[in-house]
Structures are given as C-alpha cells and as structure tokens.
Amino acid sequence: MATVIIPTPLRKFTGNTSKLEIKATNIKQTVDELTMNFPDLRKHLLDEQGKIRNFINIFVGNDDIRDLQKENTLVREDSIISIIPAIAGGTA
Amino acid sequence: MSYKDIKFSIQELARYDRHIIIPDFGIEGQQKLKAAKVMVVGSGGLGSPALLYLAAAGVGTIGIIDFDVVDDSNLQRQVLFGVDEIGQPKVEAAKRRITALNPHINVRLYNEKLTSQNALEILKDYDVIADGTDNFPTRYLVNDASVLLGIPNVYASIFQFEGQVSVFNYRDADGRLGPNYRDLYPTPPPPGLVPSCAEGGVLGVLPGIIGSLQTLEVIKVITGVGDTLSGRFFTFDALSFQTRIFNIRRNPENPINGDNPTINSLIDYEEFCGLRKPPDRLLKEISAKELYDWQVKGEPFQLIDVREPHEYEIVNLGADLIPLASIRENIDKIDKDIKVVFHCKMGGRSAKAIRELEDQFGLENLYNLRGGILAYIDEVKPELTRY
C-alpha cells in the first residue's frame, strides 16, 4: 500500500492522522480513495470539476505529478505521496 | 563598485574572522556579503532570525519593510523584540536591535505596507529578497515583483508545525533561470480555505528554524557558496521531524514568465486572492457594541461560539460552544425562533458557519459578530484576555 503524507493544514479532515496507507495504482485512485474515506477533504483537494486544485501540489517520491503523468502518475506499493498545499504564514 | 573593491576595517576583520577562515568562503565571501543589499519583507517570525543572522553575518545593506507595531502576542516567536518595544513600529525596533548587534551595516527602513504601487520602486535597489510575509496577496506580490525585476526571492513559509523553504527566480552560474512561486502555485487558495497563522497558530520556535534556513539560502545566493534550493522545495514537519526536498520545475503555463505570459505588471493582489470580491450575499452582522446592548437590554438571543475548545478556555463570552467543523451536525442545538449570534476570534469562521447553515438549512435568523471576540474585548470588555 502506498503511503500518503497529510500536511498539517489538512489533518483536521483526516482525524488528525498524518500518514495514511492507501491501496491504489495511480494518483487519481489515491485521491478518490482519500476523498471517499474523508469526505471533508474533497473540497480542499478537488475543484467543482473534480480536478486537483491549483494551490495543491502532489508529489510522488520527490517529483511533482505535473512533471510526471499528472493524475495518471503510477503509484507503487512503496511510493510515498506528499500533498503540499500553499501556506502563507510568516509574521502575523 | 565590484565586491572585489570592498575593504574591511580591523574591527570588521576581527568580527568576521570565523567566516574568513572557512576555506570555501574566505575574504571573497565576506566581501560579497558586505557588497550585498538584501530586503527582508516582514520583520516578524521569519524576519526575526533572518535579520539577526544577516546583520551578524555582515550583509552590507539590509532593508526592512513592515507596517506593523510590536504586540505582546508577537514575543512568543519574534525574538527581535522585547517587552519595552510593545507598541513601537517593528522596523524601528528591529533596526535598533540589529545595529546594536553590528554597527558596520546600513539599515534602511520602510514603515509601510508593500503594495502594487510601491513594490517595484522599493525592491529594485536590492540584490536578494527574503520573503517572510504572512498572507497570500503579499506572497504573490513579492513573487511577481521579483520576477519582473529579475531579483532572486528566497521564500519561507510556516503554518502550525510545518515549514517550507525554496529559492525562487534564481539565475544560476550558467544563466539558467529557476522556477518561481507561480510555477508551484499558479493561483492562491480562496479565502477561508487555508487559515492564517493568526487563526491557525504557529509553534514559536518553528519560524526560528525555518527563518534560519531561509537566511542560509540568502547567504548562499549572495556568495555563490554551495548549491541553493533553486529548483527544489524543502519542507519540514516539526512533529515527525520529517524533512523532505521535492524537485520543482518551471511551468510553461506560468502566467508571469511561462511561454505565453499574461502578466507584465503588478496587479491588484487583494482582488486576485479573492479578498475584495463581493460576497455571494451580505451576511447580517452586528457590532460588538450592539451585542452588548442586546445583552444589557435582555433581548432574547442565542450566542454561539464556533472556535475550538482550547480557544474557548482562554477567553469566552459564555456562548454555546459548537466548533465550526461540527456546526452542521449540531443543527438541532441552534435556536430557530430567536436571533442567533455567531462569533469566533475575528469574524471569519463564524461567517463561514452562517453561510453553511443558511445554504444547507435555509435559516434566516443568524447574525455574525463583526470582528469576533477580539472586537468585543476591544470595544466592550478590555479586561478580558486577548490572544
């Protein structure tokens, strides 16, 4: 099962879990599986058309899926999938 | 003037001795630092370590832009400031601290907000920008200005337990330009989807760690020592102590410097980030004073606090606590017959709660407390704890 790393801002939608094991063969299945199990995640990851939002980056291993096969990027049993949302904190 | 013409006094040579004796750094590295002009955007959590280390390292000219004043809630992480400086402009307090640390540097202050109108003029004199701002509009403004001016932008950002660092818009020794923020995040999240540090919180030591890493990259960009994070994106999760470095590339669709750029000047970033868009419909609001009037007159209403329990514990108005995330499942706890006033810390989460309830259940008796509990404390009960 591939490992998905959930970033801090999204953990409140995954019951505070930072790592999830997901059975999937590509990124689309991974995201489907995630949003099915954690429905609140959906609007943070996907837009109204079901596409991965612009301010969410997904990496398989060290590489951006936009530089691979996007949603069709293959996922292996030992893949580590990281979700990196935009965060803006600095001074406040 | 070339950095090679830079001279040092005996006092400076003594001060920078531990740099100069590093074989790959040497006097040349120190000359480059002294010749450099670095702009630190935001003198808060990230800016504090950045300014201290840049000054200590001997960066010749340091610009500081921030329009804020020191607040007691800053001191948990903004180690530039002390109790005596509460209420003073941050840039002035910062200058005092770093010139006390190193009198051999020039410090330029900009006690104002960086805007689309002044950004190019202010930033054009600098060699490197260190972006430590706290909001998306300024992030995109700094990014776009750095691209338009051709200045590298050393980026760092934090949220709760998590930090990010990268070097954007950096041209390497072979002339290749690295990615910028818009390659990674072409557009910002809509307001409300990602909480700010003011709402989401941040562990105080985290900006110390991330701001120090950011400063390391500024020094590498200036001196050319080592490999910068250009083309790479560093993340740190303090809870698991997990660090990761991702590869990032330029995106041909980048609107500012992709194949067909559509942005060739600075835009209205508040609007771009959805902050100036008129809301779908106006919420009914009341001010803190009006709420107090209702309380004094004994007007029948229900008060609901949508913050988290730990915030409620710090300070509360005796409201029914229903955190935002659980608002819909608690619909039966919300009165349908009398006015219901929602509040949070600053008014954002409670507005979201009202919209959700209006959308889903068609309620029409809901009012938002403008400015949240902080406004109530400021206007009605200053004796309560601010946080």
Query: For B32-69, what is each residue's pLDDT tens digit?
Result: 999 999 999 999 999 999 999 999 999 999 999 999 99
* % of chain B residues with pLDDT over 70: 96
pLDDT attached to residue B194 = 62
Residue of A nearest to B164 (CA): A87
In a domain, A21, yes or no: yes
pLDDT attached to residue A84 = 93
Q: How distant is the Cα of B376 from the closest Cα of chain A, in angstroms?
A: 20
In a domain, A13, yes or no: yes
Q: Do A89 and B245 touch (CB under 8 A)?
A: no
Beta bridge partners of B242: B237
Q: How distant is the Cα of B242 from the closest Cα of chain A, in angstroms?
A: 10
* pLDDT at A92 > cutoff 80: no
pLDDT attached to residue B199 = 63
Q: Do B240 and A18 touch (CB under 8 A)?
A: yes
pLDDT attached to residue B197 = 56
Question: E strand or H helix at A24, and its extent?
Answer: none
What is the ipTM for the molecules in this complex?
0.92
What pLDDT, in 10s, does the model give residues B224-264?
A: 999 999 999 999 999 999 999 999 999 999 999 999 999 99
Neighbours of B63 (CB within 10 A): 21
Among B53-57, B167-171, B276-280, B298-302, the least confident range:
B276-280
When CB atoms are compared, the residue of B66, B158, B235 closest to A89 is: B158
Q: Which residues of A touch B188 (CB under 8 A)?
A: 55, 86
* pLDDT at B281 > cutoff 80: no
Give the model's confidence band at B111: pLDDT under 50 very low, under 70 low, under 90 confident, else very high.
Answer: very high
Q: Do B132 and A84 touch (CB under 8 A)?
A: no
- Which residues fall within 8 angstroms of residue B265, CB to CB, at 6 or more apart? B148
* pLDDT at B327 > cutoff 60: yes
Question: E strand or H helix at A81, and its extent?
Answer: strand A80-85
Of B197, B288, B366, B369, the active-site residue reads B197
Amino acid found at A6: I
Altogether, the residues listed in chain A come to a count of: 92
* pLDDT at B367 > cutoff 50: yes
Q: What is the DSSP letter of A21?
A: E
Give the model's confidence band at A91: pLDDT under 50 very low, under 70 low, under 90 confident, else very high.
Answer: very low
Q: Which residues of A touch B135 (CB under 8 A)?
A: 88, 92
pLDDT attached to residue B322 = 95
Give the model's confidence band at A90: pLDDT under 50 very low, under 70 low, under 90 confident, else very high.
Answer: low
* pLDDT at B326 > cutoff 60: yes
In a domain, A91, yes or no: no
Give the model's confidence band at B14: pLDDT under 50 very low, under 70 low, under 90 confident, else very high.
Answer: very high
- Write out chain B in H/E/C secondary structure: CCHHHCCCCHHHHHHCHHHHCCCCCHHHHHHHHHHCEEEEECCCCCHHHHHHHHHHHCCCEEEEECCCECCHHHCCCCCCCCHHHCCCEHHHHHHHHHHHHCCCCEEEEECCCCCCCCHHHHHCCCCEEEECCCCHHHHHHHHHHHHHHCCCEEEEEEEECEEEEEEECCECCCCCECCCHHHHCCCCCCCCCCCCHHHHCECCHHHHHHHHHHHHHHHHHHHCCCCCCECEEEEEECCCCEEEEEECCCCCCCCCCCCCCCCCCCCCHHHHCCCCCCCCCCCCEECHHHHHHHHHHCCCEEEEECCCHHHHHHCCCCCEECCHHHCHHHHHHCCCCCEEEEECCCCHHHHHHHHHHHHHHCCCCEEEECCHHHHHHHHCCCCCCCC
* pLDDT at B198 > cutoff 90: no
**B197 given a catalytic annotation:** yes
Q: How distant is the Cα of A29 from the closest Cα of chain B, in angstroms?
A: 22
Question: Range of A41's domain?
Answer: 2-85
In a domain, A48, yes or no: yes
Give the model's confidence band at A54: pLDDT under 50 very low, under 70 low, under 90 confident, else very high.
Answer: confident
Q: Do A87 and B78 touch (CB under 8 A)?
A: no
Give the model's confidence band at B160: pLDDT under 50 very low, under 70 low, under 90 confident, else very high.
Answer: confident
- Which residues fall within 8 angstroms of residue A19, CB to CB, at 6 or more apart? A3, A4, A5, A6
> Is the pTM value of this prediction over 0.90?
no
When CB atoms are compared, the residue of A7, A84, A88 closest to B196 is: A88
* pLDDT at B18 > cutoff 80: yes
Residue of B nearest to A53 (CA): B189
Q: Do A8 and B188 touch (CB under 8 A)?
A: no
In a domain, A90, yes or no: no
* pLDDT at B104 > cutoff 60: yes
Q: Do B134 and A89 touch (CB under 8 A)?
A: yes
Q: How distant is the Cα of A89 from the closest Cα of chain B, in angstroms?
A: 4
- Mean pLDDT over B321-343 rounds to 92
Q: Do A92 and B44 touch (CB under 8 A)?
A: yes
In a domain, A92, yes or no: no
Q: How distant is the Cα of B185 from the closest Cα of chain A, in angstroms?
A: 5
3-state SS class at A79: coil
* pLDDT at B287 > cutoff 80: yes
pLDDT attached to residue B195 = 59
3-state SS class at A40: helix
3-state SS class at A76: coil
Q: What is the DSSP letter of A80?
A: E
Residue of B nearest to A13 (CA): B325
Q: Residue A64 belongs to a domain with what CATH number?
A: 3.10.20.30
Q: Do B247 and A85 touch (CB under 8 A)?
A: no
Number of domains in chain A: 1
In a domain, A53, yes or no: yes
